[in-house]
Amino acid sequence: MAEVLIVDSQDEAGAIVAREIADLLKDKPDAVLGVATGSTPLAVYRALEQLIKDEGIDVSQVRAFALDEYVEIDPNHPESYRSVIHREVTERLGLNPEYVLVPGQNATSLATAGQEYDAAIEAAGGVDVQILGIGRTGHIGFNEPGSSLASGTRIKTLAAATRRDNARFFDSEDEVPIHCITQGIGTILKARHLFLLAFGESKADALAASIEGPVTASCTGSAIQLHPRATVIADEAAAAKFDNAEYYRFAAANKPDWQGL
């Protein structure tokens, strides 16, 4: 069972995750972060940027791996995930660009890119903290319905609903790429600590299905139930469809002091 925290704002969620990551970086300066794009993780990156500055945290050895990337896009396009991660993570946090990798980057071919990416994550020692958002299709990464729960990084076709949601970053929906390369569910589950964040009512159905519904490839967010250390942080709107919200609040309010996230 994942731990579920219901918070008042995205900033509150961002502060919780940033604190956890900052403490990790102090203990382990060469920690490996799993980073996500989209609107959801921005509050984490902003809060972490501040902690790094305020507490003088050395990030020169930190490594980061992105969750996913579009296929049919120029890597220099401002909305490629390589560009987004560079802006929002590498530059904002002051990471060494050579230590930040996006799926498909430096790959010898598209056919082998997924395996190469998973091998690079393993060679770095595995992901310590993985930040996840969730799509309306229930996807984590770009693992659309029907993705194997044992999948590694590979090429996937985006769902129509995902392309519609991401059209806001492009001039039109037609410009949203059709294919992506995404960490698989098996890849994500290897990370040592998962943080799944969800904000807004458009995420409520997918979040409730993921946390309280059956574990199923039809809603890949449900794979989080298989992970021994997963922290779910939702605002009130995203938490609105939970059956067990009262219990989550009670458990959070009565958590033993010595128990971390």
Interface with ligand PGA by CB under 6 A: which residues? 38-40, 133-135, 139
Shortest distance, CB of residue 123 to ligand PGA, whole angstroms? 26
Shortest distance, CB of residue 156 to ligand PGA, whole angstroms? 13
Shortest distance, CB of residue 40 to ligand PGA, whole angstroms? 3
Q: Which C-beta is closer to ligand PGA: that of 15 or that of 59? A: 15
Using N-to-C axis directions, what is the helix angle for 42-55 and 10-27, rounded to 10°? 50
Distances from the Cα of 242 to the Cα of 44, 196, 221, 229, angstroms? 23, 15, 14, 20
Q: Which C-beta is closer to ligand PGA: that of 57 or that of 188? A: 188
Nearest alpha-carbon partner for 2 in 248, 250, 239, 184: 248
Q: Which C-beta is closer to ligand PGA: that of 134 or that of 211? A: 134
3-state secondary structure of 115: helix
Shortest distance, CB of residue 139 to ligand PGA, whole angstroms? 6
Dihedral (C-alpha) 93, 99, 104, 109: value to the nearest 10 degrees?
160
Q: Which C-beta is closer to ligand PGA: that of 16 or that of 57? A: 16
**Burial degree of 157 (CB within 10 A; 0-12, 13-18, 19+):** middle
Q: Which C-beta is closer to ligand PGA: that of 93 or that of 158? A: 158
**Backbone phi, psi, residue 166, to 5°:** -90, -5
Shortest distance, CB of residue 187 to ligand PGA, whole angstroms? 15
Residue nearest to ligand PGA (CB): 38
The C-alpha atoms of residue 112 and residue 89 are separated, in whole angstroms, by 26
